Structures are given as structure tokens and as C-alpha cells.
Amino acid sequence: MNSLEEGFIRRSLKPRVDCDIPGRLRLSFARYAMLPEAAKPYLHYVEDVLKLLPGVLEVRLNPRIGTILVLYTPGEVGTRQILRWVGIVVDTGLEIARELDGAKPVAESTLAERVRRQLVLRLPRTKEEQRS
């Protein structure tokens, strides 16, 4: 993946806050429809990786219109932390895609486990880390 492709994917996955009320956050991705076809088969993992963040209760992805609804426990996590986590998820996915670029193909389950392990290492350990 070259830097132009990576930049385009980053812009495509940059969220916009559409609705933000305590416990309920709706994000939209304006350039979602322009994502490369190679990225689309992995979108079903979005729900799982966002729920790794402590306090996130439920995630509903609407791939038809490029929105995500995040239901969470206020006081345990907030909008800023969720947006930061979305950024970490995108960064991690792109880092792994860079590492695998040109390498022999990897089974999807192996890839999913690798991403999950990387993300678990990047989870905030304490509430203070979540807030900062």
C-alpha cells in the first residue's frame, strides 16, 4: 500500500459526529462509499473491535449508508475516548496492512486475531489513561 492509498483510506474512515447524547454516539463516514473494495470484506469486524473499549456496550454498523451507532456507559467512557479509539483502530489496521503488503496471503481468521491482539495492547489500562 502506498502513502496515497493510505491517506485516502484514512480520509474515508475519518468519522463525523452526527449525534452525541450521553450513552449514544452516532458517527458517519462521508467518504465511506469510496473505500477500496479490498477493505470492505473486513468491515464486519468494526463492531467487535470497537466493543474492546471498556464502557462500549453495543455497536451497530450500517454499511449501506456508512454510519455507526455506539451505545456506551457514560462515566466509564465518553465521546472523545471513543473517537480516539476509532483512530487507533484505523491506525492499527493500516499498520498491519503495510506489514502484509507483498507478503504471502494470510487466512482471515489469523489476520483478525492478529489485529485483535494488537488492539488489546493499545487499550487504555486505567480510567485516567482513557481520559487523557
- Among candidate residues 117, 124, 116, the one with its CA nearest the CA of residue 48: 116
Per-residue pLDDT of the chain in tens (132 residues, 90 and over written 9) = 678 878 877 887 889 999 999 999 999 987 777 777 766 777 778 889 999 999 999 999 988 888 999 999 999 999 999 999 999 998 998 888 888 777 777 788 888 888 899 999 999 875 555 555
Residue spans of the domains in the chain: they are 3-127
Sign of CA pseudo-dihedral 68, 50, 70, 128: negative
Instruction: Report pTM.
Output: 0.83
- CA dist 65 → 43, 61, 107 (Å): 13, 9, 28
What was the pLDDT predicted at 53? 96
CATH of domain 3-127: 3.30.70.100
